[in-house]
Chain A
Amino acid sequence: MNVLEVRGLTKSFGGLVAVEDVSFDLAAGEFLALIGPNGAGKTTCFNMVNGYLRPDRGSVELEGRELIGIKPRRIVRMGVGRTFQITRTFLSMTVLENVQMALISHHRRMYDIFSRATRLYRDEAMALLELVSMQEQAGRACSELAYGDLKRLELAIALAPDPALLLMDEPTAGMAPSERVALMELTAQIVAERGVSVLFTEHDMDVVFAHAHRILVLNRGALIAEGTGDEIRENALVQEVYLGGGTVFAAAEARDA
């Protein structure tokens, strides 16, 4: 069964067509990668799926329910979690409190003015931090964390409402190469254990091949290939985009570093 069905998604900014007629399915439990050089339209695609951007055309269905036109916060409540390309956390709170906030919101207790926030859902939050091996850092201020730890924290926050679908925009951007592999391994393991379906974007092919079940390749707003790691590696068009356009790739790396 498909968790997500995307059809004919199109978006332009002024004259620039950022995403053009993109369609794909995401099966339950699938770990699907959306790759492409920087500026290919991956983030734009993502933001249309999770409600931050309204597409010019197209439809996005989550388990049969149309998502276009629904506010991001409602989409979250429908079971779609997300992480950001550039991390977004509550910097004036501790690591644990960040996860507690996600749980408080999930349990609809945000308007409670009598309880102490730090006493709510502590154990659940701790369990989520253990999942991403952050339990040691629970009491630290978020503003002191290294970037790679922030990325893992975001993963824990996204998992808090127990989503059916997880959208991860460049989960490894800005991390050291060894950290990247570790984070993808962790994510793949969580996906397998919890049965979450994941759509993630990535411009670094190596990170993708090891874990993704299936790969979509986006270039200049259009899908140009789809298949398993090996199929994509063999694909002439993809080789041209990545190898022929090697400079684009290198430039993207340098910018993210």
Chain B
Amino acid sequence: MGFYVAQLLTGLANASSLFLIACGLSIIFGVTRIVNFAHGSFYMVGAYLAYTIVTTLDGGIFGFWFGVVVAAVIVGLLGLLVEVTILRRIYHAPELFQLVATFGVVLIIQDAALAIWGAEDLLGPRAPGLDRAVRIMGEPIPEYDLALILIGPLVLAGIWLVFHRTRWGVLVRAATQDREMVGALGVNQAWLFSAAFVLGAALAGLGGALQIPREAVSLQMDLSVIGDAFVVVVIGGMGSVAGAFVAAVLISVLNAFAILIFPQISIVLPFIVMAIVLIVRPYGLFGKEGSEHGAPSEPEQPLRLLSSRATIVVMALVFALAASPAVVSDFTTILLVDVMVATLFAVSLHFMMGLGGMVSFGHAAYFGVGAYAAAMAVKFAGLPMIPAMLIGPLGAAAAALFFGWFCVRLSGVYLAMLTLAAAQILWGVTFQWQDFTGGDDGILGVWPAKWASSDRVYFYIAFVLCVGGIWFLRRVAHSPFGYGLRGIRDSDVRAEAIGMDVKFHQWMGFALAGGFAGLAGVVFAFSKGSVFPDVLGIGQSVDGLIMVLLGGIHALAGPIFGAGVFVLIEDWVSRLDYWRFIFGAIILVVVLLAPDGVAGGVDRLLRAVGLRREERA
């Protein structure tokens, strides 16, 4: 019995930390409708700052708690800086922009932290006065855990008071429910948004600062916590602080007991719980309908076909690509294969996201399933390359059919979160199922057939598959099916009113996009000769999002430019020190200065020189 109580108390202590970071995220989303990827970075910076202040002061009980509070305040100010310089300019941009912009902030803060605190993990001090364990029912419980168990509800009560007893809090709640109304009341929105962002950031900083006696401070803290924090916010209902608390307790306590039965589960458990909750309650436990969408965006322009002159230009470029291995070095040939893989991946993501309006935070899942399915077909079934290349996309499409069935029942941010959950579940399984997938060691020796083993021959295989795939998806975009997807994105009510089966149509679109992501994964696997779990990871998914954004979401050609630019920049930048900082800065520059991406710029150029058809139907 005592053992289970101890387990429960550990769960509750974890719940408090999780709540602190998640409630800030939820408040920020509720008011500004921004999905803040950088929230994990605020948490990490809070931990680093607290470490520095507490160890420098070395001032006993007072020094510790003073350090924690000051760290939270400084992180709040950091939040203010980010809000005023970056986010304030993009509140009316599509969700994707905001997400990618905050990811740019993640990269910048990561390298800044590396420069300031170094790459070594820092072991924090124990909390003075709370550094022992007390015995509860015979089991030793750290005093600090008990303190955390108290702090969570105290913060919840504090937020409740602020939200119900101050004018500002009432406005925050009103804004969460109905943003137009607040605008109509004549409230200074800019001020309201900044304040909400500062509060949210400070809470994340507090969460991180309070973590130093429990866990070493490291540069991985940001991304490792953000996944769980998203999950908690989504389960609780976007914008609901009480919901975040309930969800944090639910996840942490479930986890504390589940690991007793099945130790490997903790990586995927939160995502499984989230998937179940979303399927049963599409807006989370305490969320309301209508809380799922970010700011409304500008309507897109109608699709137009390329003029015959532009078609000639495109054909010439494709031929130039086809002929390039004869001219360029082997090294460049390999790089071009990377570009083609990335482009097909980005085009497939754009297909479901740009055309279908289904933003995916986990598109890498299908890229990875394709890669793994092919690799396992070679490794375990001993299949030759060509059949394995067929199995990859089929496997990816099957996975997309399975997860997509659940995902298309949701929309907006909730859909995006469920795609993330699906990807994390697949990643967790791949990572932990050592015997089958090789776990962390991946699967090695996935080489092309002998006849295809030279860089040049493989280039042409990749060329046929990738350029063919891109051509096909473009075709579908112009077909009734593709138009149907766009129609649903524009207005699902209208789509239903002309007799369309909205969910089924989206489901098929999801599966098609997944299948082609899988094809990209297959080409990738054979070009590298190996696969590792990170092909399914958040990083790979975010790369895809950045490519689509860099290229411009509103143009069919966008992902093509985006992927090309992305791979070339990455190839160049990743050789430098602090490449994350540079990359993050590039992302921010694009988001802030060229919101229609490379394709938008090229489009304006084409119109100027008359290569794009302007003529109307």
Contacts and interface: CB of A to CB of B under 8 A. Distances in A.
B499 A105 contact: yes
Contacts of B479: 112-117
Contacts of B491: 88-91
A194 interface: no
A101 interface: yes
Contacts of B498: 76, 101-102, 105-106, 157, 160-161
Question: Which of A104, A120, A138, A160 has the most CB atoms of chain B within a 10 A radius of its CB?
Answer: A104
Contacts of B115: none
Contacts of B490: 89-93
Nearest to B476: A113
Contact of B494 (A89, A104, A138): A89
A93 B500 contact: no
B56 interface: no
Interface stretch (A13-21, A53-61, A139-147): A139-147
Interface in B327-356: none
Nearest to A89: B494
Interface string A113-140: 1111110100000000000000000111
B486 A116 contact: no
A240 B21 CA distance: 59
A105 B481 contact: no
A73 interface: yes
B224 interface: no
A116 B306 CA distance: 13
Interface in A80-107: 82, 84, 88-94, 96-97, 101-102, 104-106
Interface in B474-527: 475-476, 478-484, 486-487, 489-491, 493-494, 496-502, 505, 508
A165 to B, nearest CB: 14
Given A91-B491, A93-B486, A141-B301, A113 B497 contact: no
Given A76-B499, A91-B491, A141 B302 contact: yes
Contacts, number: 118
Interface string B287-306: 00000000000011111010
Given A73-B501, A97-B483, A111-B481, A92 B301 contact: yes
B496 A73 contact: yes
A76 B497 contact: yes
A106 B476 CA distance: 20
Nearest to B490: A90
Given A113-B475, A116-B478, A141-B301, A92 B486 contact: yes
B165 interface: no
Question: Which of A88, A113, A120 has the most CB atoms of chain B within a 10 A radius of its CB?
Answer: A113
A233 interface: no
Contact of B487 (A82, A90, A120): A90
Contacts of A115: 479-480
A76 B499 CA distance: 6
Interface residues of B, number: 33
Nearest to A109: B480
B617 interface: yes
Contacts of B616: 94, 138-140
Interface string A180-202: 00000000000000000000000
A110 interface: yes
A101 B487 contact: yes
B300 A110 contact: no
Interface in B84-142: none
Contacts of A161: 498-499
B483 A117 contact: yes
Nearest to A141: B302
Interface string A14-45: 00000000000000000000000000000000
Nearest to B500: A105
A105 B483 CA distance: 11
Contacts of A105: 484, 498-500
B478 A82 contact: no
A72 interface: yes
Interface of A: 72-73, 76-77, 82, 84, 88-94, 96-97, 101-102, 104-106, 109-118, 120, 138-143, 157, 160-161
27 contacts: A73-B496, A76-B498, A77-B499, A88-B491, A89-B491, A89-B494, A91-B299, A91-B490, A92-B299, A92-B301, A92-B302, A92-B303, A92-B490, A101-B487, A101-B498, A104-B484, A106-B499, A110-B480, A110-B484, A111-B481, A112-B479, A117-B483, A118-B478, A141-B301, A141-B302, A142-B299, A157-B494
Q: Which 7 A-B pairs have the closest CB atoms?
A: A139-B616, A91-B299, A139-B617, A143-B299, A92-B300, A88-B494, A117-B483
Given A73-B497, A90-B486, A94-B617, 17 more contacts: A72-B497, A73-B501, A91-B299, A91-B490, A92-B303, A94-B302, A101-B484, A104-B480, A105-B484, A106-B498, A109-B480, A111-B481, A111-B508, A112-B481, A113-B476, A113-B482, A116-B479
